């Protein structure tokens, strides 16, 4: 098979050879080396030549893979500072308590993961002892993305330094009682410890990249100097299969994020078996990261291998390590020396001779125990090299054994991810291996004891001294919020109350106009973070380009093609807009970093992320959960919303369900405003609740989702009646009555119906109000339902209050109290959206919505297709009244025929 990385002859033919004789001499030299010293030596010289060329700035294709050995040779490793013996003891205690916690929890059926931290212990402990800066360090300290399944080890360390008690450990995965510990890193459940939720695979690495990028954004915009902060992301090799894990690697290198380090725990296993059974995951990742422009450090082999490499005078050992697939390496971990001699060394005569010089104990030490990720000195060398490297992010590929120190029953076994406990005998073997002073008598009734050397022990004092020197405990989250931001000037919001007169204005346009005014505010304007995935012109935001600038760490190194235009494409190092290109996932990661800056950096930022509504919750709902988990605040804006407002784009763009998905997220306050003044009122309330003076008991850790439409129509003035502002925020208010609307209803005692509409659907309801009056003698009142979801949540809280013996009436019932006739609700979404409130409406209730797949056609045709246009509303209203005997049944048939339905 042709090597895809090789330079093909067709490419060489296009490069003129100005000195063929010199070329022939170089080729002859290479042939001579290969013949005299072997192909391995020739390949070695070629790689070193390429490295030298790269070091001298000669433009050549990068070397994507290196040998399966450590990047940093033993001779080049720096001396590790600190007390190695005390660090060994601290790590031993943490290993023990992590395993004890999970094993004790398994008796209650809650389980947990033991093997992950067992493999990664030194990766964390070395960082905690020497690298990870706490919140009191320069800037904001470091940001740590902890691998979710390693959380027991982090809890064990917090127990050792006095931040957790035995009671906490005994409530691992048992949170209902109030003293429990969440299974994984979860800021909403343990907000003083965890900063970043990471166990949803792939989101941790993606978020870490954008967090490092946002740190640069804050520094370059002079919001806060966080240049001393470093982002560390601890990942699993199996996790790298997730597309999100590698989605932004090029961004990180393109922007030179040397404030970022990935540490990938390469224990070669995922949940069911090997990560790359027939291949080598380390080599694959190395090529992937190098190709993306990252600095790669491989930490594969421990010190016991030094003797073997010293004996490898022919390169046979290095060749064999490169060719053995990962699943076979895993097998060596579980087999005896005789098997390893035969299967590993027996494949090459040179290795056979080498093996004769090695004892069985030496072979087992190397193949069972000695991995780079298990030795503090190797890890320290890698971390030091990572933080000192400039110009690009670094990834450390650290090879470990999953289940290390837990015994041969765990180590490298395919099932170890699901193994939740050790037997008492296995714990005693582990105790002896770790040299812990735990007596047999401490095992009472078969229960494994927790271990602690004492609050005043040398281990605990050392641990606390190291953390004090590094800026305090880690991980840690600041739970105090910065001072409330002053409210923007009222005129920015009030300007929408008078309406637009005869001017056609879409709610998307209204939102952008509002933001343009808010970013000019002297107090809070600079804290807005506009985020858009390459659709700014679609949403009418190009006017912000020259005034705010598009963030770029390089500024603008070219003359833009539209420089002579008023709204030219302006990039700037201190630009305010984050224009992410075509990546909704990247934009959401941006949003999460900005929305949690109030905690991470003590700086309240106000992000709004505007996107095609179809490409928000449908594509990135998992990140919206992450946003809620991380206690983020800000505005998500689903533009060109609804199933029938962008129908020329077709099925893929027709959003009929985002409010349904949004309703499942407890942290999302979902609104579907119909008018510009509603948009302004909701944003004003969102700023107060999330960034201003919160009311007693009010949760500030929420985010707002607004749907806005691209349907330009005259915007009405805000009704000058009591309760409108409250209704907009709570989710429902009466926009008009048949009488105040001025429609002509012939009979004084005409049948009456209540029409509830949200978003653009209210305009169909208003037209239906006119038709019902003029053509069918029916009086209709029209209500604006700004949030079906908030109405439902209020009603659910009222139901819960009743169970507690408290009398409380849901707001939707109070709002509709006394309203005559049945209720007909309509939206540009599936009926499930307005049906959220059905059980709390006392009147007869029915709904219309755009269920099914979208389609390409005009808006009018699409609305007729889904049965939500004004005429369809009229027919549905007449049918509802006919069932009550308030209009003749024949009226329904007449209306269908009249309107061609």
pLDDT tens per residue, range 482-534: 789 999 999 999 999 999 999 999 999 999 999 999 999 999 999 999 999 98
Give the whole-angstrom CA distance, residue 133 versus residue 257: 18
Rg (CA), the chain: 33
| Secondary structure string (H, E, C) spanning 561-577 | CCCCCCCCCCEECCCCE
Give the whole-angstrom CA distance, residue 246 versus residue 839: 46
Tell me the Ramachandran region of residue 597: left when phi exceeds 0, alpha when psi lies from -120 to 50, beta otherwise: alpha
And the tokens for 685? 């309330």
Give the whole-angstrom CA distance, residue 132 versus residue 560: 42
Give the whole-angstrom CA distance, residue 9 versus residue 877: 75
And the tokens for 784? 């604006």
- Biggest alpha carbon distance in the chain? 110
Q: Over range 699-716, report the average pLDDT.
A: 95
Q: Is the peptide bond before 475 cis (omega within 30 degrees of 0)?
A: yes
Give the whole-angstrom CA distance, residue 150 versus residue 145: 11
Given a contact cutoff of 8 angstroms between Cβ atoms, the answer to whether 551 and 575 are in contact is yes
Q: Over range 647-661, report the average pLDDT.
A: 86
Q: Over range 686-697, report the average pLDDT.
A: 92
Q: Over range 684-707, report the average pLDDT.
A: 94
Measured torsion, CA atoms of residues 811, 812, 817, 820, in degrees rounded to the nearest 10: 160
Task: Give tens-digit pLDDT for 299-321.
Answer: 999 999 999 999 998 889 999 99
Residue 160 has pLDDT above 50, yes or no: yes
Given a contact cutoff of 8 angstroms between Cβ atoms, the answer to whether 419 and 166 are in contact is no
Residue 20 has pLDDT above 90, yes or no: no
And the tokens for 847? 């709904």
Which residue from 345, 335, 283 is spatially nearest to 308, judged by alpha carbons? 345
Which residue from 117, 376, 389 is spatially nearest to 234, judged by alpha carbons? 117
Measured torsion, CA atoms of residues 864, 869, 871, 877, in degrees rounded to the nearest 10: 120
Q: Over range 734-745, report the average pLDDT.
A: 89
Cα 542 to Cα 508, 574, 581: the distances in Å are 13, 17, 14
Task: Give tens-digit pLDDT for 423-473.
Answer: 899 999 999 999 999 999 999 988 999 999 999 999 999 999 999 999 999
Where are the alpha helices (H) located in 131-248, listed in sequence order?
A: 151-160, 166-169, 203-220, 243-246
Which pLDDT score is estimated for 481?
A: 65
- Please report, for the chain, how many H helices and E strands are present, in that order: 36, 20
Residues 6+ away with beta carbon under 8 Å from 405 = 95, 118, 121, 430, 433, 434
Helix (H) or strand (E) holding 505: strand 504-505
| Crossing angle of helices 84-106 and 424-434, rounded to 10° | 170
Give the whole-angstrom CA distance, residue 143 versus residue 232: 6
Q: What are phi and psi of 170, to 5 degrees?
A: -75, -5
Q: Give the angle subtended at the CA of 808 by the CAs of 805 and 809, to the nearest 5°.
A: 140
pLDDT band at residue 479 using 50, 70 and 90 as cut-offs: confident
In this structure, the strands spanning 550-551 and 394-399 are: unpaired
Give the whole-angstrom CA distance, residue 404 versus residue 103: 16
Q: What are phi and psi of 889, to 5 degrees?
A: -60, -30
Given a contact cutoff of 8 angstroms between Cβ atoms, the answer to whether 147 and 400 are in contact is no
Task: Give tens-digit pLDDT for 771-816.
Answer: 999 999 999 999 999 999 999 999 999 999 999 999 999 999 999 9
Which residue from 323, 415, 402 is spatially nearest to 368, judged by alpha carbons? 402
pLDDT band at residue 899 using 50, 70 and 90 as cut-offs: very high
Give the whole-angstrom CA distance, residue 871 versus residue 518: 40
Q: Of 101-115, 340-354, 632-646, 714-728, where does mean pLDDT reach its minimum?
A: 101-115
Given a contact cutoff of 8 angstroms between Cβ atoms, the answer to whether 798 and 772 are in contact is no
Q: Of 56-70, 533-547, 724-738, 837-851, where does mean pLDDT reach its minimum?
A: 56-70
Q: Is the peptide bond before 700 cis (omega within 30 degrees of 0)?
A: no
Q: Over range 674-678, report the average pLDDT.
A: 97
Residues 6+ away with beta carbon under 8 Å from 214 = 590, 593, 594, 597
In this structure, the strands spanning 578-579 and 733-736 are: unpaired
In this structure, the strands spanning 260-266 and 394-399 are: parallel
pLDDT band at residue 34 using 50, 70 and 90 as cut-offs: confident
Given a contact cutoff of 8 angstroms between Cβ atoms, the answer to whether 598 and 481 are in contact is yes
Which pLDDT score is estimated for 50?
A: 81
Residue 61 has pLDDT above 80, yes or no: no
Residue 43 has pLDDT above 90, yes or no: no
- Mean pLDDT estimate for the chain: 92
Q: Over range 630-634, report the average pLDDT.
A: 97
Give the whole-angstrom CA distance, residue 450 versus residue 443: 10
Q: Over range 860-864, report the average pLDDT.
A: 93
In this structure, the strands spanning 668-671 and 703-707 are: parallel
Give, as one character, the DSSP assignment of residue 279.
S
pLDDT band at residue 409 using 50, 70 and 90 as cut-offs: low
Which pLDDT score is estimated for 10?
A: 42
In this structure, the strands spanning 733-736 and 779-784 are: antiparallel
CB count within 10 Å of CB 184 equals 20
And the tokens for 598? 């109030």
Which residue from 165, 153, 80 is spatially nearest to 121, judged by alpha carbons? 153
Give the whole-angstrom CA distance, residue 99 versus residue 156: 9
Q: Of 67-81, 168-182, 356-370, 620-634, where does mean pLDDT reach its minimum?
A: 168-182
pLDDT band at residue 13 using 50, 70 and 90 as cut-offs: low
pTM of the complete model beyond 0.75: yes
Q: Where do we find the tokens 């510009």? A: 676
Which pLDDT score is estimated for 746?
A: 64
Measured torsion, CA atoms of residues 150, 151, 152, 156, in degrees rounded to the nearest 10: 110
Give the whole-angstrom CA distance, residue 666 versus residue 604: 22
Measured torsion, CA atoms of residues 128, 133, 135, 139, in degrees rounded to the nearest 10: -170
pLDDT band at residue 9 using 50, 70 and 90 as cut-offs: very low
Q: Of 43-47, 219-223, 264-268, 567-571, where does mean pLDDT reach its minimum?
A: 43-47
Which pLDDT score is estimated for 359?
A: 97
Residue 415 has pLDDT above 70, yes or no: no
Three-state DSSP at 437 gives coil
> What spatial distance separates the first Cα and last Cα of the chain, rounded to whole Å?
64
Which residue from 284, 297, 263 is spatially nearest to 77, judged by alpha carbons? 297
């Amino acid at each position: 098979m042709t090597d895809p990385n090789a330079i093909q002859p067709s490419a060489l033919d296009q490069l003129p050879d100005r000195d063929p004789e010199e070329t022939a001499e170089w080729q002859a030299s290479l042939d001579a080396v290969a013949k005299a010293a072997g192909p391995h030596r020739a390949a070695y010289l070629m790689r070193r030549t390429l490295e030298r060329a790269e070091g001298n700035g000669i433009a050549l294709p990068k070397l994507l893979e290196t040998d399966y050995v450590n990047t940093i040779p033993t001779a080049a490793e720096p001396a590790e500072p600190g007390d190695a013996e005390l660090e060994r003891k601290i790590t031993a205690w943490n290993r023990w308590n992590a395993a004890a916690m999970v094993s004790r929890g398994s008796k209650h059926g809650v389980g947990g993961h033991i093997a992950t931290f067992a493999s990664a212990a030194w990766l964390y402990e070395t960082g905690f002892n020497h690298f990870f800066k706490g919140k009191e360090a320069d800037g904001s300290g470091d940001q740590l993305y902890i691998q979710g399944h390693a959380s027991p080890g982090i809890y064990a360390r917090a127990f050792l330094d006095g931040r957790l008690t035995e009671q906490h450990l005994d409530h691992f995965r048992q949170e209902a009682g109030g003293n429990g510990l969440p299974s994984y890193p979860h800021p909403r459940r343990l907000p003083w410890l965890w900063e970043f939720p990471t166990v949803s695979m792939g989101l941790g690495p993606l978020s870490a990249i954008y967090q490092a990028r946002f740190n640069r954004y804050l520094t370059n915009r002079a919001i806060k100097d966080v240049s001393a902060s470093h982002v560390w992301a601890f990942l699993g090799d199996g996790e790298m299969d997730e597309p999100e894990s590698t989605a932004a690697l090029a961004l990180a290198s393109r922007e030179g994020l040397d404030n970022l380090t990935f540490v990938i725990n390469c224990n070669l296993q995922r949940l069911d078996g090997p990560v790359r059974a027939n291949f080598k995951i380390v080599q694959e990742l190395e090529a992937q990261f190098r190709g993306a422009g990252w600095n790669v450090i491989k930490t594969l082999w421990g010190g016991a291998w030094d003797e073997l490499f010293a004996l490898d005078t022919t390169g046979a050992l290095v060749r064999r390590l490169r060719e053995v697939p990962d699943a076979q390496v895993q097998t060596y971990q579980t087999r005896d020396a005789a098997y390893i001699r035969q299967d590993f060394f027996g494949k090459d005569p040179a290795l056979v001779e080498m093996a004769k010089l090695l004892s069985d104990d030496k072979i087992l030490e190397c193949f069972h125990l000695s991995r780079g990720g298990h030795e503090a000195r190797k890890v320290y060398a890698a971390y030091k090299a990572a933080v000192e490297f400039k110009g690009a992010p670094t990834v450390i590929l650290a090879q470990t054994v999953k289940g290390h120190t837990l015994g041969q029953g765990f180590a490298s076994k395919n099932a170890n991810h699901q193994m939740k406990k050790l037997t008492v005998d296995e714990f005693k073997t582990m105790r002896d291996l770790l040299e812990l002073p735990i007596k047999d008598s401490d095992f009472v009734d078969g229960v494994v004891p927790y271990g602690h050397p004492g609050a005043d022990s040398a281990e605990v004092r050392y641990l606390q001294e190291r953390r004090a020197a590094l800026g305090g405990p880690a991980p840690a989250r600041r739970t105090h919020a910065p001072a409330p931001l002053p409210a923007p000037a009222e005129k920015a919001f009030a300007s929408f109350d008078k309406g637009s007169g005869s001017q056609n204005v879409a709610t998307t346009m209204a939102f952008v106009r509002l933001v343009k005014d808010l970013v000019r505010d002297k107090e809070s304007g600079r804290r807005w973070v506009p985020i858009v995935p390459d659709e700014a012109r679609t949403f009418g935001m190009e006017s912000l380009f020259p005034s705010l600038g598009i963030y770029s760490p390089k500024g603008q190194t070219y003359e833009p093609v539209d420089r002579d235009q008023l709204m030219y494409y302006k990039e700037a190092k201190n630009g305010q807009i984050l224009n992410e290109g075509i990546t909704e996932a990247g934009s959401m990661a941006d949003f999460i970093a900005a929305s949690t800056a109030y905690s991470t950096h003590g700086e309240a930022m106000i992000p709004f992320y505007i996107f095609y509504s179809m490409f928000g919750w449908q594509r990135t709902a998992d990140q919206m959960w992450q946003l809620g988990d991380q206690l983020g605040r800000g505005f998500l804006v689903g533009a060109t919303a609804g199933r029938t407002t962008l129908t020329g784009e077709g099925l893929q763009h027709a959003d009929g369900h985002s409010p349904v998905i949004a309703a499942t997220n407890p942290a999302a306050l979902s609104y579907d405003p119909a008018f510009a003044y509603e948009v302004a009122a909701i944003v004003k309330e969102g700023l107060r609740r999330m960034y201003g003076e919160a009311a007693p008991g009010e949760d500030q850790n929420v985010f707002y989702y607004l749907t806005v439409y691209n349907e330009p129509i005259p915007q009405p003035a805000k009704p000058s009646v009591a309760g409108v502002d409250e209704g907009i925020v709570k989710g429902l208010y009466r926009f008009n009555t048949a009488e105040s609307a001025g429609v002509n209803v012939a009979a004084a005692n005409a049948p009456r119906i209540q029409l509830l509409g949200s978003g653009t659907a209210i305009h169909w309801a208003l037209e239906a109000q006119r038709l019902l009056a003029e053509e069918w003698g029916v009086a209709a009142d029209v209500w604006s339902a700004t949030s079906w979801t908030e109405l439902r949540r209020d009603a659910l809280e009222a139901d819960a209050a009743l169970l507690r013996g408290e009398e409380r009436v849901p707001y939707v019932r109070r709002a509709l109290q006394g309203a005559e006739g049945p209720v007909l609700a309509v939206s540009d979404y599936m009926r499930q959206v307005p049906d959220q409130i059905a059980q709390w409406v006392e009147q007869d209730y029915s709904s219309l919505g755009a269920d099914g797949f979208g389609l390409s056609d005009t808006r009018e045709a699409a609305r007729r297709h889904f049965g939500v246009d004004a005429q369809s509303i009229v027919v549905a209203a007449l049918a509802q009244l006919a069932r009550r005997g308030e209009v003749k049944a024949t009226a329904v048939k007449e209306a269908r025929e009249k309107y061609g339905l």
